[in-house]
Amino acid sequence: MAHNVMLFAAGFGTRMKALTQTCPKPMIPVAGRPLIDHTLALAQALRPDRIVANLHYLPQVLEAHLTPRDVLLSPELPQVLDTGGGLRHALPLLGTAPVFTANTDVIWKGANPFQVALDAWDPAQMDALLVCIPISRCRGRKGAGDFSRDHAGRLSRGGDLVYGGVQILKTEGLQDIEEKVFSLNILWNDLAQKNRLFAVEYPGHWCDVGHPEGIAIAEELIADDVV
113-120 and 35-44 helices, crossing angle to 10°: 40
pTM for the full model?
Answer: 0.95
Q: How far is Cα 114 from Cα 188, in angstroms, rounded to an integer?
A: 19
* Residue 79: HSE in the Cβ half-sphere, 13 Å Cα cutoff: 7
Element (H, E) at 92: helix 82-94
CA distance 58 to 75: 11
- What tens-digit pLDDT sequence spans the chain (227 residues)? 578 999 999 988 788 888 788 889 999 999 999 999 999 999 999 999 999 999 988 889 999 999 999 999 999 989 999 999 999 999 999 999 999 999 999 999 999 999 999 999 999 999 999 999 999 999 988 888 999 999 999 999 999 999 999 999 999 999 999 999 999 999 999 999 999 999 999 999 999 998 899 999 999 999 987 76
5-223: CATH topology:
Spore Coat Polysaccharide Biosynthesis Protein SpsA; Chain A (3.90.550)
- For the chain, domain boundaries: 5-223
d(CA 95, CA 93): 6
Is there a contact between 97 and 4 (Cβ–Cβ < 8 Å)? yes
Say if residue 26 is exposed, middle or buried (CB neighbours under 10 Å; 0-12, 13-18, 19+). Answer: buried
